[in-house]
Structure 1
């Protein structure tokens, strides 16, 4: 594995946040942005009362309240992971008709105290669904297969996730 040196942060434009100003350890913040997830022509999740998780060098991942997600389209997957700040994550496959997106969403059933507000909320990988939107803007998936950040024009990078960025 090749690790690249910590990059030079891009200068944020007006109305942008630099992901290099985000905290470490990660934290969550309530957002009132209009968030939406689409898959196979269906609205899977939509809210204006979400949360975002932010961490140095990462674009935010967004969490939806369970009542703002069409849970009939989700099936519990076998995958689990452990985040040192959020706790143990459970994963869900997304199924619409014949289409299946494996491990498309995740949740923290029993998060750490700092992340208690998002217990059982669901987050989605933008690269495993057809589209994710923040206030009508299509989010670009964070590179790599592990992180689930949503990149929009509101954020200046560079962003962790691509090959060689593990040590950032």
Structure 2
């Protein structure tokens, strides 16, 4: 089954208009992440990756993250566009999430700007905000996209989307 894109309204973006291969762009939106009752990330200097059928993934500079809560993981993954990814566990007090964030220590040339910038799975956080709006995690818990009211799908990760 082929996905039928939702037509965006004024001020919205369709993930079906995003490119493949994906595009990296800086954003000055206010990104905040809460976990374990703490504001663990707060930036206006993030990057977002835009890829066909996926809501944006936000990558945050380490200088804007409370890095004392990041714990190295032995988990690795590979993205055909960005390269080998490494992971962090996240722990604040007794609250811990395994493999809650990922980053690229040696990204491909096209994604060099996000070297060592973590991205966080919204479904593992207390809440993630983009310009004060709480995000909805991308369906399926496999991908790390963040859905806001200005992004329309359907999104990769919903039931039946593996064949898209």
Equivalent residue for 1:129?
A: 125
TM-score by length of 1: 0.96
Query: Structure 1: how far apart are the matches of 2:108 and 2:58?
Result: 17
Structure 2 residue 100 is matched with structure 1 residue 104: yes
Query: Structure 2: how far apart are the matches of 1:151 and 1:110?
Result: 27
List structure 1 segments (4+ residues) > 2 angstroms apart after TM superposition: none
**How many angstroms does 1:164 deviate by?**
2.0
Question: How many matched pairs?
Answer: 164
Equivalent residue for 1:53?
A: 49
CA-atom RMSD, angstroms?
Answer: 0.7
**How many angstroms does 1:163 deviate by?**
3.1
SS of 1:148 mapped into structure 2: coil
Gaps of 5+ in 2: none
TM-score by length of 2: 0.98
Q: Deviations over 1:72-94 (max 9, x none)?
A: 00101121000000101001010
Query: Structure 1: how far apart are the matches of 2:31 and 2:159?
Result: 28
Q: Deviations over 1:116-138 (max 9, x none)?
A: 00000010000011100000000
Gaps of 5+ in 1: none
**How many angstroms does 1:162 deviate by?**
2.2
